[in-house]
């Protein structure tokens, strides 16, 4: 004799014991064998529109597995399924004689056996069946049928949850694949493209390639807008962590009151409004790289916790006691003078030296003007694609001259914004950047002459920069004249047409409108 209540309770505990429905089925089978002479079991899902039954789980006394065997049910079998779907439990004396059970039993080796089929119905929707195959020579009785009939709802709920869980997992995998593909495409098209890598940023890129394969912290130094985030992502992409996350944190954009919570996360109820556990940026960067932009904006408390992260590679969430191990690389950046901040007591000395393991100074755009033509063309292509323009406008020669002679106090970011503005105003016309002529003539002349003379700047050994510098000196001596007697071409000993092409490529201004700069 079996107590129905105890049987239902014990069965339900095992059926709902795992989201892996095959494991839950096996746990139930081991229990029910003491009550019912069952040999093996499977769960099948029925697709009424296609007339297909697909097994999703199979279990015997020795093992369990996720199964995916699809069988097209003949018309006679489909009619039987749909006519008898609300019988809950059907007993079959011989599986070889049943049009539904017989195709499956060929695969599971259970022909010539007795069988019980439990229909799974939830909210009037027919999900599928649970099949019980008897021991050799044993038959299922009416008492067995009554016991199994109680389990429709536990099995139906478990199977429904499992199917939804598998669907979520499938979509998660698809999203991860799509995300990796899109990230790769973005890196290929834009992210991995450092304009000036062989020009004004040649020395910087040499340092980037040296430090990228290591695990050392990197400190990027330079004014706002020089491209620190791009170089940080380049270091990440060239490292062994390229497949891990790259978490970008602008420390200056986080309110002081939320700094710790944003960076290190918080436990539920740790402060007013903390309704749920939240992982911080450092946890999200596990296995990858965290980029801390504007590191000089960190609060003193956050500086202490960051120092602990660098020293111990562990964090604790706000309001929590658990220590969480981290596998991260830290890249920091700032436009501020951290040494001066240390003297003023605004930045911790020990943290500064922890971050300054490998400092990289990024030159301003005015210090690498030979890169301006390449950057301008790059931003035109990029912004035209983002704005879905049918045609990509060209930059006029005068427009490029204006870009080259401008000082760019906002650096690369200002140039990018200027290109976007020009595209908006262009109306499918070539880009002339006429707004840059609004600078006073005195400002333009002073700016360009400083750039052309360039005597105060330490000379770069880059061949392109050296060539541009030499041509500028010749243009100054020739007072802006390219060809003819005492022209720059004659002074340099090259063809005037060749000289103009080279000046255009190197971003050296010439032409009638540029004459004033060389007087």
In the chain, where the domains are located: 4-165, 214-363, 366-518
Q: How far, in Å, CA of 96 to CA of 403, rounded?
A: 84
Average pLDDT, the chain: 81
Whole-number Å distance between alpha carbons of 200 and 408: 15
pLDDT above 60: residue 101: yes
pLDDT at 70 over 70: yes
Q: How far is it, in rounded angstroms, from Cα 321 to Cα 19?
A: 30
Q: In the CATH hierarchy, which top-level class contains the domain 4-165?
A: alpha beta
**Closest-CA residue to 161 (of 187, 103, 116, 122):** 122
Per residue in 339-367, pLDDT (tens digit) is 989 988 899 999 999 999 999 999 999 88
Tell me the pTM. 0.53
pLDDT of 327 over the 80 cut: yes
Determine the pLDDT at residue 517. 55
Q: What is the pLDDT of residue 443?
A: 47
According to CATH, the topology of domain 214-363 is: Rossmann fold (3.40.50)
Strands 289-293 and 314-315: unpaired
d(CA 435, CA 43): 72
> Does the domain spanning 366-518 belong to CATH 3.40.50.2000?
no
Q: Do domains 4-165 and 214-363 have the same CATH topology?
A: no
Quote the percentage of the chain above a pLDDT of 70.
83
The DSSP bridge pattern shows strands 125-134 and 89-92 to be: unpaired
Asked whether the predicted pLDDT for residue 332 surpasses 90, the reply is yes
C-alpha to C-alpha distance for 380 and 172, rounded to whole angstroms: 36
Of 180 and 320, the structure prediction assigns the larger pLDDT to 320
Q: What is the pLDDT of residues 117-158, one digit of tens each?
A: 898 888 777 788 898 998 888 888 899 988 988 898 899 888
Q: What distance in Å separates the CA atoms of residue 488 and residue 495, rounded to the nearest whole number?
A: 10
Count the alpha carbons within 13 Å of 425 in the hemisphere toward its beta carbon.
11
Q: Assign 211 a pLDDT band (cuts: 50, 70, 90).
A: very high
**Cα 138 vs. chain centroid, distance in angstroms?**
58
Class of residue 272 by CB neighbours under 10 A (exposed 0-12, middle 13-18, buried 19+): exposed
Rounded Cα distance between 418 and 426, Å, is: 12
Lowest mean pLDDT among 81-85, 186-190, 254-258, 480-484: 186-190
């Amino acid at each position: 004799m079996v107590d129905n209540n105890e049987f239902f309770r014990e069965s339900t505990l095992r059926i709902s014991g795992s989201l892996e429905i095959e494991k839950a089925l096996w746990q139930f089978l081991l229990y029910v064998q003491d009550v019912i002479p069952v040999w093996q079991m499977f769960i099948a899902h029925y697709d009424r529109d296609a007339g297909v039954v697909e097994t999703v789980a199979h279990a015997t006394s020795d093992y369990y597995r996720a199964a995916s065997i699809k069988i097209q049910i003949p018309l006679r079998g489909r009619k039987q399924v749909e006519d008898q779907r609300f019988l809950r439990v059907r007993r079959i004396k011989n599986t070889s004689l049943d049009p539904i059970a017989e195709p499956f039993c060929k695969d599971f080796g259970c022909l010539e056996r007795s069988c019980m089929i439990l229909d799974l119905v939830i909210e009037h929707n027919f999900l599928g069946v649970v099949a019980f195959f008897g021991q050799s020579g044993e038959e299922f009785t009416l008492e067995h049928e009554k016991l199994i009939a109680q389990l429709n709802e536990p099995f139906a709920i478990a199977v429904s949850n499992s199917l939804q869980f598998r669907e979520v997992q499938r979509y998660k995998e698809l999203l991860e694949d799509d995300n990796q593909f899109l990230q790769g495409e973005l890196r290929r098209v834009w992210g991995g493209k450092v304009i000036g890598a062989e020009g004004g940023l040649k020395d910087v890129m040499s340092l980037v390639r040296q430090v990228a394969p290591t695990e050392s912290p990197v400190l990027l130094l330079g004014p706002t807008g020089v491209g620190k985030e791009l170089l940080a992502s380049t270091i990440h992409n060239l490292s062994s962590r390229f497949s891990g996350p790259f978490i970008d944190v602008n420390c200056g954009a986080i309110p002081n009151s939320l700094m710790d919570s944003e960076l290190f996360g918080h436990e539920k109820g740790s402060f007013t409004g903390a309704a749920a556990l939240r992982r911080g940026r450092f946890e999200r960067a596990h296995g990858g790289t965290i980029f801390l932009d504007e590191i000089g904006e960190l609060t003193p408390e956050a500086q202490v916790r960051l120092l602990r992260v660098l020293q111990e590679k562990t964090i604790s969430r706000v309001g929590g006691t658990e220590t969480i191990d981290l596998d991260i690389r830290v890249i920091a950046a700032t436009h501020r003078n951290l040494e001066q901040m240390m003297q003023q007591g605004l930045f911790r000395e020990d943290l500064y030296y922890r971050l300054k393991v490998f400092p990289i100074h990024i030159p301003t755009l005015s210090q690498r003007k030979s890169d301006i033509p390449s950057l301008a063309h790059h931003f035109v292509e990029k912004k035209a694609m983002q704005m879905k323009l049918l045609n990509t406008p060209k930059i006029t020669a005068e427009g490029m001259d204006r870009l080259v002679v401008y000082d760019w106090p906002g650096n690369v970011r200002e140039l990018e914004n200027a290109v976007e503005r020009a595209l908006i105003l262009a109306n499918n016309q070539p880009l002339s950047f006429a707004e840059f002529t609004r600078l006073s003539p005195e400002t333009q002349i002073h700016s360009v002459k400083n750039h052309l003379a360039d005597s105060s700047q330490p000379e770069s050994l880059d061949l392109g920069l050296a060539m541009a510098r030499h041509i500028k000196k010749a243009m100054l001596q020739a007072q802006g004249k390219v060809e003819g007697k005492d022209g720059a071409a004659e002074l340099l000993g090259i063809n005037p047409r060749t000289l103009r092409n080279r000046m255009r490529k190197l971003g050296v201004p010439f032409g009638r409108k540029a004459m004033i700069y060389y007087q």
